[in-house]
Amino acid sequence: MAEKSWLTDIPEMDRSSLLQLRKTMDGAYRDFSREYGDSIEAFFDPLLTFLIWFEKLLLNSPWWLVLGVIAGLAYAASRSAKLTIGVAVSLVVVGYFGMWDDTMRTMSIITVCTLISIVLGIPIGIAMARSNRVQSTVTPMLDIMQTMPAFVYLIPVVMLLGIGRIPGVIAVVIYAIPPVIRLTNLGIRLVDKEVLEAATAYGANPRQRLLGVQLPLAMPTIMAGINQTINQTIMMALAMVVIASMIGVKGLGQPVLKSITNQYFTIGLLNGLAIVVLAIIFDRVSQAYGKRTQAHLGGGHE
C-alpha cells in the first residue's frame, strides 16, 4: 500500500483555510503593488540615476585613466606596491580579453552597494546601541536577512519594481548590511562605562558622549564591520551577477548566462575568471586597508 501524504492528515476545512489565506496574501500584495508601486519606483529614482551616471562615468572615461585611479586607490588603501601592480596587471588582462565594459558595469554596482550598506548600517547600529528595544526589534530582522536565500526576497522586489538594476542592488544590500550594523552596535556597547561616567561628570550631554567618546573608542570595531561589509558586498555582488543578469542587470553575469544557455565554454570561462579577478582585487585591497586602519585606531603601528 502506498504511503499517505501528510497533507491527507490535514482536515479539509484547515486546507481550505490555508488556501484562502494564501489567496488573501497574494491579493493584498497585488493591491499594494498597484497602489504604491509607482511611488516606490519614484523613491528609488535618485539611486537609479546615480547608478546610471556612475556606470557611464566608468564606461566613457579613458581606460588608462580609470586604471590609474583604481591603482591609485589600491595603493592608498594598502600601501603595497606589489598589490597595486597586481591590480593594474589584472585589469589590463581583463581589458585585453574584451571584458572591460562588463567589468566596469559590475564594479559600479559593487561600489554603490558598498556605500549604501555603510551609510545605512552605521546609523542603524548606533540606534541599536542606544536602545535595547531597537536592538531586540532589529536583531531578528538581521538574522533573517543573512539566512534567507536571495531568490526569496528577490521575487517580491522584482514584482514590485520590475526588472533592472534596483532589484539587484536591493538584494545585495539586504545580504551585505548586517555585519556593519552588528559590529557598530557591539563596538559602542563595549565602550567602558567608567569612561562614559567620567564624560558625564565633565558635563557632556548624550550627543557629545556619542560623538566625542563612544564612536572614537568604538571605531576599531566599526571599521572591522565596515571591512566585513565590503567583503560580503563584494562576494554577494559577484555571486549575484548571474542571478541579476536574469532580471536585466548588465555586467559580467550576462555573458556567463549566455554561455550556460548556449554552451559557449570560452565565454563563460573568461567572464568567470574576470569575476574571480574582481573579487580578489576588492578582497585584498579592502583587507589591507582594514588591517592598516584597525592598527592605527588601536594604537598599533603599520
Report, as an integer, the average pLDDT of 21-45. Answer: 82
209-218, 262-271, 282-291, range with the lowest pLDDT: 262-271
In a domain, 153, yes or no: yes
Neighbours of 189 (CB within 10 A): 17
If one compares 250 and 37, the residue with the highest pLDDT of the two is 37
In a domain, 131, yes or no: yes
In a domain, 3, yes or no: no
Backbone angles phi, psi at 54, to 5 degrees: -65, -40
- Provide the percentage of residues in the chain whose pLDDT is more than 70: 74
DSSP single-letter state for residue 135: H
- Segment 235-257, tens digit of pLDDT: 666 666 666 666 556 666 666 66
Specify whether the CB–CB gap between 55 and 105 falls below 8 A: yes
In a domain, 9, yes or no: no
In a domain, 178, yes or no: yes
Please report which confidence band the pLDDT of residue 137 belongs to, taking 50, 70 and 90 as the band edges. Answer: very high
CA gap 263, 170 in Å, rounded = 30
Q: Is 200 helix (H, G, I), strand (E, B) or coil?
A: helix
- The three cell numbers of residue 207 are 550627543
CA gap 125, 276 in Å, rounded = 31
Backbone angles phi, psi at 134, to 5 degrees: -65, -40
Q: Which helix (H) or strand (E) holds 246?
A: none
In a domain, 265, yes or no: yes
Report, as an integer, the average pLDDT of 148-174. Answer: 77
CA gap 137, 32 in Å, rounded = 24
The domain in which residue 97 lies consists of 22-297
If one compares 24 and 280, the residue with the highest pLDDT of the two is 24
The stretches of the chain forming alpha helices (DSSP H) are 12-60, 63-78, 81-96, 100-130, 132-147, 150-161, 165-176, 178-189, 193-201, 206-209, 215-245, 253-262, 265-297
- The three cell numbers of residue 253 are 553575469
Number of folded domains that form the chain: 1
Residue 169: pLDDT over 80: yes
In a domain, 171, yes or no: yes
What pLDDT score does 24 carry?
84
CA gap 169, 108 in Å, rounded = 11
CA gap 7, 4 in Å, rounded = 8
Task: Identify residue 122 by its one-letter amino acid code.
Answer: I
- The three cell numbers of residue 196 are 562614559
CA gap 247, 162 in Å, rounded = 8
CATH number of the domain bearing residue 87:
1.10.3720.10
Specify the residue for cell string 585611479.
69
DSSP single-letter state for residue 8: G
Give which of 244, 235, 250, 241 is closest to 105, Cα–Cα. Answer: 250
In a domain, 53, yes or no: yes
Report, as an integer, the average pLDDT of 18-45. Answer: 81
- Segment 81-119, tens digit of pLDDT: 888 898 889 889 888 888 888 888 888 888 888 888 888
Specify the residue for cell string 555573458.
255
DSSP single-letter state for residue 248: T
What pLDDT score does 301 carry?
43
